[in-house]
Structure 1
């Protein structure tokens, strides 16, 4: 049986539900809920079953909502940038791929849906804009991307899609920066005067995606 704290954390990640809303619905103090989510075992059986009943109901509702969205086969997905929650189908299709939108004050990247098991774990694709990465990635070509959960797993010289705190994305080779807690973004275009390396502090980076492949046909 899954721990109630893990269930609570996963439900909040999937639904973007804030803890005060859950506290209001269950009558359990939000401070208590935060402790349970962090691993503290419930000391009140009554409160435990209150939260269990709430999650039983809300998880079923969330699963039904997700199923209905998936049935519509939306062309785009919303990927949370500040959590590890799953990609969510964008049912209205209003925001274009590569756009960062806000849902419940949480930033989400819009990506095109992609079904290519041969590529391994891929969360979606976006279009490359501009010629800074030619001849590797041409303007208008597409790249498959996956969220990078840990900045320490960056491999120097590999390709990444980096989103800064102004919610602008850029595809570059990434290397350790010359300054502490920074990275250097390098273009492939031979004209380095027009496309010079960019140094960015990690505190100005909102999210990093690993580039899994270039998609010639999409």
Structure 2
């Protein structure tokens, strides 16, 4: 017998929100017995054990399918306000692609791909990279995962950032301290620096900065 059946039961109940009395009724196992197993007591009745195992094998798959279906039904893109302390909202009409900046009620918003990746830590979503200025690190068509900064003036020189300027144009670049006061130097990763030379930007010419924390490539 699987001594971890109680852990499976607990995980299933947390995911499905099904109460223990309902599981007891569906399996024919006393709820007191199920509570004991969930708390770590080793099953002693082999018939009850196999009834619960059969129940979990069936129900876990159903719950996973339902959660996956719910995830597919959610909007694939979000509207991310550029103003600090405002939360993203779903883009339900699907009119704009990721990386688009548009105005809603006179407030600028960035469209980002919705992304469920807890292992990456805090993130806002992903945007598509256009052009070859950041190749080979980020080629055209790939996506970069971005994270909003609380303080734009605290940057890691040499790291990748997504910068939106006052013309509402966004670009991914490595960021360095500028040659003049209150300026930044934006550098491409493309080896052809004649074609993609560094750009100087004054702080007051920049609308928003996001940290790039990962890249996503289509297989």
Q: When the two structures are superposed, what TM-score results if normalisation uses the length of structure 1?
A: 0.66
Secondary structure at the counterpart of residue 129 of structure 1: coil
Secondary structure at the counterpart of residue 151 of structure 1: coil
Alignment match, 1:94: 95
Q: Output the CA distance in 2 between the equivalents of 1:203 and 1:88.
A: 27
Report the CA distance between 1:99 and its aligned residue: 0.5
Report the CA distance between 1:216 and its aligned residue: 2.4
Structure 1 runs of 4+ aligned residues shifted over 3 Å read: none
Does residue 76 (structure 1) correspond to residue 43 (structure 2)? The answer is: no
Secondary structure at the counterpart of residue 153 of structure 2: helix
Q: Output the CA distance in 2 between the equivalents of 1:71 and 1:87.
A: 18
Does residue 114 (structure 1) correspond to residue 115 (structure 2)? The answer is: yes
Equivalent residue runs for 1:45-56 within 5 Å: none
Secondary structure at the counterpart of residue 160 of structure 1: strand
The answer to whether the 8 Å contact 2:99/2:111 transfers is yes
Q: Output the CA distance in 1 between the equivalents of 2:106 and 2:118.
A: 32
Change (3 A) 1:71 1:185: same
Alignment match, 1:56: none
Q: When the two structures are superposed, what TM-score results if normalisation uses the length of structure 2?
A: 0.65
Equivalent residue runs for 1:5-16 within 5 Å: none
Query: What's the C-alpha RMSD, in Å, of the aligned pairs?
Result: 1.6
Does residue 137 (structure 1) correspond to residue 134 (structure 2)? The answer is: no
Report the CA distance between 1:174 and its aligned residue: 0.2
Secondary structure at the counterpart of residue 203 of structure 1: helix
Report the CA distance between 1:132 and its aligned residue: 0.8
Report the CA distance between 1:137 and its aligned residue: 0.7
Secondary structure at the counterpart of residue 152 of structure 1: coil
For residues 164-214 of structure 1, the C-alpha deviation after alignment (integer angstroms, 9 at most, x for no partner) is 011000000000111111111000111100000000011110100100101
Q: Output the CA distance in 2 between the equivalents of 1:175 and 1:84.
A: 26
Which ranges in structure 1 are unaligned for 5 or more consecutive residues?
A: 1-69
Alignment match, 2:176: 175
Alignment match, 1:208: 209
Report the CA distance between 1:217 and its aligned residue: 4.0
Moved more, 142-151 or 161-170: 142-151
Q: Output the CA distance in 2 between the equivalents of 1:84 and 1:154.
A: 19
Does residue 152 (structure 1) correspond to residue 153 (structure 2)? The answer is: yes
